Amino acid sequence: MIKNIKEISNPILRAVIAGIFLGSLVTIPAALAVELAKSPKDSNVESTSKLAVYASLASTAIGAAIGLGAGKRKDERDRLPDDTLGNDSVEVESSNNGWTDWRKFIVMRKVKESDGITSFYLHPEDNGAIPDFSPGQFLTLKLDIPGQLKPVIRTYSLSDYDLSAMNYRLSIKREAAPTNLNVLPGIASNFMHDSIQEDSIIWVKPPAGKFVLDVYSSKPAVLISNGVGITPMIAMAKAVVRFNPLRQIWFLHGARDGNAHAFRDEINALSASHSNLHVIYCYSRPTATDTGKYHQQGYVDSALIQNIVAPEMQKLCGSTEADYFLCGSPSFMDALRNGLREWGVPDRNVNFESFAKAMPKTTTPVRDLPTENTDSQEIVFSKSGKTLTWNPADGTLLDFAEANGLNPDYSCRAGVCGTCMCKISEGEVEYEEEPSASVDPGSVLICISKPKTARVVLDL
């Protein structure tokens, strides 16, 4: 019975049923006791009755409290990473409770975090459980934006790791138009800031992504971000301090100034209560009011890691071998990856995620795969009934499809999110860079691929 009560997901219902269950366990014997106590002495009956009523009330209250507590533990357990439950597998999409496609979520809270970044707390409209995720993963959103031909799909990292919460948190930066170009500002991010309010409903796909931190590793971790790249780092830092408090972590973050720096108080509070979390903030253009809020003026770079982090790490851990996690602007990550490589950090220890398209292609290039025909290839978009000739100047298959009037789904255009995945029924493609997203057998990511064989048939 207790096991069944634990399985009830609604906390109120769970508390009521547990209360009735424990209350009746005590009330029935108490009623019998009152019957047996009936004697010519009325005072005996009266005091036994009072005792029975108090015992029934107390047991009902205790039952309700146990019901709530049992549920909380279940909810937390539902959201723990698989490996905390004694399963060594790092399969990160294994416990989505049947949620595989779009699901409606309500925006419960909208909180301004800095000049450009706002957080959105999302709760499933069906009130069901939300699955666990690995720190570093993202959610995919589908937004109906007025003026757009079709729903706009974008991915956003989960920016919190609070197992007792019933919400996911995303933190989104408003993307301005580049100053040197006469183009529109970011479509989805501006829509989220301007038009999505508390109680708005948006479509969400389950947590995904391979930019994840192994919470239980004992190797020190260095989390390095700038701007909105801080989002996956918060989840990573929170997961480690919660589940692996002996692991040393350095949290290095770069911002323009104090107004642009999101989550400073949240990370400072985490660091103040966990001695294994070491924080360094660098402001590139601090203002007069920023004194005391940052540690260094300038950028987070490999010199900072060599001169400040490495000696501390050597002292605390007896080694400077660490796992590095980078997330930020393309130029920032490019500089750091090159700096770490020059310093001798092996590529296998450096994990990175780009939010923007212009990620340098420095790892595992697969450009030199032989192609059957480098001049022109036939592409069949089978659903649209179009057979077209592709030339190298046409770019990726996604660029080519768009240039020919097709409108495939995409988000990152960098092989990270999996949104552009499409079935291929004939031929092969070659990738410009190794995809970071999982690719289903018989499918390809068209945003980073070009035809490899003379004829390619895509389900578009």
Ligand X SMILES: Cc1cc2nc3c(=O)[nH]c(=O)nc-3n(C[C@H](O)[C@H](O)[C@H](O)COP(=O)(O)OP(=O)(O)OC[C@H]3O[C@@H](n4cnc5c(N)ncnc54)[C@H](O)[C@@H]3O)c2cc1C
**How many positions of this chain bind ligand FES (CB under 6 A)?**
13
Identified binder of ligand FES from the candidate list 447, 456, 458, 460, rule CB under 6 A: 447
Which of ligand X, ligand FES, none does 188 bind, CB closer than 5 to 8 A by kind?
Answer: ligand X
Which of ligand X, ligand FES, none does 156 bind, CB closer than 5 to 8 A by kind?
Answer: ligand X
Which of ligand FES, ligand X, none does 27 bind, CB closer than 5 to 8 A by kind?
Answer: none
- Minimum CB separation of residue 324 from ligand FES in Å reads 23
- Minimum CB separation of residue 437 from ligand FES in Å reads 5
Which of ligand X, ligand FES, none does 231 bind, CB closer than 5 to 8 A by kind?
Answer: ligand X
Which of ligand FES, ligand X, none does 228 bind, CB closer than 5 to 8 A by kind?
Answer: ligand X
437 lies in the binding site for ligand FES (CB under 6 A):
yes
Residues 188, 189, 195, 200, CA torsion sign: positive
Instruction: Please state, in angstroms and rounded to a whole number, the distance separating the CA atoms of residues 185 and 413.
Output: 17
Identified binder of ligand FES from the candidate list 67, 286, 415, 451, rule CB under 6 A: 415
| CA neighbor of 212 nearest in space, from 134, 324, 132 | 134
Burial grade of 436 (CB within 10 A; 0-12, 13-18, 19 or more): buried
Q: Pattern 186-225, binding to ligand FES, x per CB under 6 A?
A: ----------------------------------------
- Minimum CB separation of residue 436 from ligand X in Å reads 8
- Minimum CB separation of residue 398 from ligand FES in Å reads 7
Of 219 and 357, nearer to ligand FES (C-beta) is 357
Of 290 and 409, nearer to ligand FES (C-beta) is 409
Which of ligand FES, ligand X, none does 181 bind, CB closer than 5 to 8 A by kind?
Answer: ligand X
Pair 403, 394: CB distance under 8 Å: yes
Which of ligand FES, ligand X, none does 185 bind, CB closer than 5 to 8 A by kind?
Answer: ligand X
413 lies in the binding site for ligand FES (CB under 6 A):
yes
Per CB under 6 A, residues contacting ligand X are 138, 154-157, 171-173, 175, 177-178, 181, 183-190, 209, 228, 231, 353, 355, 411-412, 416-417
137 lies in the binding site for ligand FES (CB under 6 A):
no
Identified binder of ligand FES from the candidate list 137, 248, 411, 449, rule CB under 6 A: 411
- Minimum CB separation of residue 385 from ligand FES in Å reads 23
Burial grade of 113 (CB within 10 A; 0-12, 13-18, 19 or more): buried
* Binding site residues, ligand FES, CB under 6 A: 410-413, 415-420, 437, 445, 447
